[in-house]
Amino acid sequence: MAVDIGQSPADGGLEADPSGAPHQLTEARGTDYFSVRHRFTTQQWDTFMAVRRFVDHEVLPVAAEAWDAAQMSWDVINRLPELGVVGDDIEGNGCPGLDPLSCGLVSMELARGDGSLATFHAVQSGLAMKAIDMLGSEEQRARFLPGMARLETVGAFGLTEPDHGSDSVSLETTARRDGDEWVLDGRKRWIGNGSVAHRTVVWARNTESGDVHGFVVDTTTPGYEASVIPRKGSMRSVWQADIRLDGVRVPESDRLPGARTFKDTGRVLATTRGTCAWIALGHATAGYDAALRYALERTQFGKPLASLQIVQQRLVKMLAELTGMQLYCMQIAQLAEEGDLSPTIAGLAKMNNTSKARWILSEARDLLGGNGILLDNHVMRHMADIESVHTFEGTETIQTLIVGREITGLGAFT
Ligand SMILES: Cc1cc2nc3c(=O)[nH]c(=O)nc-3n(C[C@H](O)[C@H](O)[C@H](O)COP(=O)(O)OP(=O)(O)OC[C@H]3O[C@@H](n4cnc5c(N)ncnc54)[C@H](O)[C@@H]3O)c2cc1C
């Protein structure tokens, strides 16, 4: 059922948050100029509003401080299961089984508040749980997923290596069969949650066949060592780790049977590309909302900034790009609902939205003047965080090359 939410295009009429500065600048304005939200069902609307309230009331008040201190906000993270969002669209085994649009709205709203929180959720629900759901046996799904949906078990996804990022297809971590066990050796880099996870899905190459397999590694196993990558200037309140795997023994029962070759790894990554497009939309929305509010409130030369022609033009251009991003997201959700979302369409959406979000956030940062570089005003944090979204799960260039190969039939990379 579609819901008439009766909102004006400029402001969703959502309740104001009473907590005031400094987070009021990124308080949701309900920006929805083309009224895409009129297509939400009651269920989608409820999910969206529940996460939006959580973000406005619980996430934004602590996000800047956690970012500054490079601390993970466990008090906030541990509330995610209550919202019924951990596990996204996975059906059964305690997972919420959300529809694609609801999943996107959750990612967008989390990122509108805090990109680190959205990234934590994307690793847990999107990469780690999705790998187990898509490539695991029924027994493995029943064993691992319920605890992950309750966040009693934190997951990670270990693909990237020090020498293989964009070309992770060439990964060098090895898996040697030894009776009923596998022995893993290698190095992983940039692994989100890698130092706090209970289970890491590790991708490694079979020493006999040369094929890539996936293993659910218990991080307490001797030989697994993770160290947090320090001094990041982006996504500071979610940790990525360097991981050493020295003779890590994994029972055959923890090898994902559906992960036979790297193509299977790619199938998991293809499902999470669309999530990145939604996350980019959340970051950009925060920037646009803050810029509009600031321009209305800030007076220079005796007038509000928002009354100046150049400022209005910049705000309208930002809105035009943001609205395009919303339409991309709505359409990829629709295609996913119909089972027609291809990896290249999701890749184009990720490429477009991260690129537009970077531009919107740089405009927003500038429109806030000197206040734009203060963490208390949030825009700088989003501007720094979007750099990670631009890079992870296939850089903008790699998505471009993937789409380029499809439209020309000519591969420009191997
Ligand atoms: C915050 C964060 C979180 C992450 N989380 C995870 C995680 O949980 N699990 C995981 O496995 N990995 C994770 N990653 C790793 C991420 O997926 C890689 O950083 C990404 O794939 C890029 O790899 P790279 O950093 O090695 O860059 P490189 O591949 O070295 O790329 C460097 C530059 O070269 C360009 N380039 C590369 N190849 C080509 C080409 N053929 N033609 C033109 N240009 C090219 C790239 O676009 C980029 O601009 C994370 C990264 C970050 C920053």
> CA-to-CA distance for 85 and 106, rounded, in angstroms?
7
The predicted structure's pLDDT at residue 125: 98
Which residue's alpha carbon is nearest to atom 47 within ligand 1?
397
280 Cβ inside 6 Å of ligand 1:
no
CA of 165 to the centre of ligand 1 (A): 4
Same domain, 325 and 375: yes
Q: What is the pLDDT of residue 23?
A: 63
Closest atom of ligand 1 relative to the 166 alpha carbon: 29
Out of 149, 180, 207, a domain closes at 149
- What separation in Å is there between the alpha carbon of 322 and the centre of ligand 1? 25
Q: How far apart are CA 298 and CA 21, in angstroms?
A: 14
**What burial class does residue 71 get, using C-beta atoms within 10 Å of its C-beta: 0-12 exposed, 13-18 middle, 19+ buried?**
middle
In a domain, 5, yes or no: no
Question: Cβ(182) to ligand 1 under 6 A?
Answer: no
Both 75 and 193 in one domain: the answer is no
**Domain contains 42:** yes
Average pLDDT over all residues of the chain? 94
Instruction: Calculate how far, in angstroms, residue 391's C-alpha sits from the geometric centre of ligand 1.
Output: 6
What is the pLDDT averaged over residues 221-237?
98
Cβ 206 under 6 angstroms from ligand 1: no
- Is the same domain home to 394 and 274? yes
Does residue 137 fall inside a structural domain?
yes
Same domain? 50 vs 66? yes
Query: pLDDT category, 4, cuts 50, 70, 90?
Result: very low
State pLDDT tens for residues 274-317.
Answer: 999 999 999 999 999 999 999 999 999 999 999 999 999 999 99
- The yes-or-no verdict on residue 5 having pLDDT over 70 is no
State both tokens at 330. 């709505």
Task: State whether 112 and 165 are in the same domain.
Answer: no
Identify the CATH number of the domain in which residue 94 sits: 1.10.540.10
pLDDT at 14 over 50: no
Rounded distance from Cα 138 to ligand 1 centre (Å): 32
Q: Among 223, 238, 260, where does a domain finish?
A: 260
The residue out of 260, 276, 297 marking a domain boundary is 260
- Which residue range(s) make up the domain with 81? 23-149
Spell out the long-range contacts of 95-100 with Cβ–Cβ below 8 A and sequence spacing 24 or more. Answer: 95/129, 95/133, 95/145, 95/149, 96/149, 98/47, 99/43, 99/44, 99/333, 99/337, 100/274, 100/332, 100/333, 100/334, 100/336, 100/337, 100/341
Residue 311's nearest CA partner among 328, 332, 293 is 293
Is the model's pLDDT at 1 over the cut of 80? no
At 28 the pLDDT is: 82
pLDDT in tens, 247-271: 999 999 999 999 999 999 999 999 9
**Do 65 and 376 meet the contact criterion of CB atoms below 8 Å apart?**
no
CATH number at residue 303: 1.20.140.10
pTM confidence score? 0.95
188 Cα to the center of ligand 1, angstroms: 13
Same domain, 189 and 226: yes
Residue closest to 139 by CA, chosen among 57, 246, 258, 226: 258
Which ligand 1 atom is at minimum distance from the Cα of 235? 1
Q: Residue 21 pLDDT > 70, yes or no?
A: no
**Domains contained in the chain, number:** 3
Q: What is the pLDDT of residue 22?
A: 59
Q: Does the C-beta of 191 come closer than 6 Å to ligand 1?
A: yes
pLDDT interval class at 400 (50, 70, 90):
very high
Residue found by looking up tokens 């989390």 in the block = 110
* Other C-beta atoms lying within 10 Å of the C-beta of residue 184: 25
Q: Name the residue with the closest Cα to ligand 1, atom 12.
A: 160
111 and 193 part of one domain: no
- Residue 367 phi, psi dihedral angles, 5° rounding: -65, -20
When pLDDT is cut at 50, 70 and 90, the band that residue 27 belongs to is: confident
**In a domain? residue 169:** yes
Confidence of residue 325 (pLDDT cuts 50, 70, 90): very high
The whole-angstrom distance between residue 280's C-alpha and the CA centroid of its chain comes to 8
Same-domain status, 121 and 175: no
CA distance 164 to 79: 35
Atom of ligand 1 nearest to the CA of 396: 47
DSSP 165: S
pLDDT at 2 over 60: no
Q: What confidence category does residue 25 fall into, taking pLDDT thresholds of 50, 70 and 90? A: confident
Cβ pair 373, 380 in contact under 8 A: yes
Q: 396: CA distance to ligand 1 center in Å?
A: 10
Q: Look at residue 193 and tell me if it is in a domain.
A: yes
In DSSP notation, 20-58 reads -TTGGGGS-----TT-GGGG-BHHHHHHHHHHHHHIIII
